Amino acid sequence: MEDIETKKINFLPQSKLGKFAFGLGILVLLLMLLAFINTGLAKPMPENLLGFVVFLTIGAAIAALIIGLIAIIKQKERAIVVFIMTALGLSAFVWLVANIIKDLVK
């Protein structure tokens, strides 16, 4: 009979890449919060700085997607937060591609 490994699903990541993807995801959430605060009634940032914050947010989200996928595939990371942060990065990537396609179709 073969040795069957039981894959335990954790909440927090165990590998270095998983922890890094989780940290990038938290950074994305904080930058999104900052951008949402600025789009409300109070506008503490000029528009140029807001564009830079959104650029950093998308870059960090795509990096979280790539690093999260590497952690999941190569290091067999099975943490729930890594899956969530990878999904967040995927949604940011899809949003970016949709906006590029929308601008090209105009």
pLDDT tens string 31-73: 998 888 887 767 777 778 888 888 999 999 999 999 999 999 9
Is residue 7 situated within a structural domain? no
11 within domain boundaries: no
Q: Which domain holds residue 39?
A: 16-105
| Helical axes 80-105 vs 16-39, angle rounded to 10° | 50
Tokens 């009634």, residue located: 41
8 domain residue, yes or no: no
Q: What is the pLDDT of residue 51?
A: 85
Handedness of CA 37, 32, 30, 84 (dihedral sign): positive
Q: Please check whether residue 99 lies inside any domain of the structure.
A: yes
> Residue 87: inside a domain, yes or no?
yes
- Give ∠ CA 14-15-16 in degrees, rounded to 5: 130
Q: What was the pLDDT predicted at 41?
A: 67
- Asked whether residue 2 is assigned to any structural domain, the reply reads no
Cβ atoms of 31 and 53 closer than 8 Å: yes
Is residue 9 situated within a structural domain?
A: no
Lowest-pLDDT range, 14-23, 31-40, 43-52, 77-86?
43-52
Instruction: Give the total number of structural domains in the chain.
Output: 1
Task: Give the residue with greater pLDDT, 7 vs 93.
Answer: 93
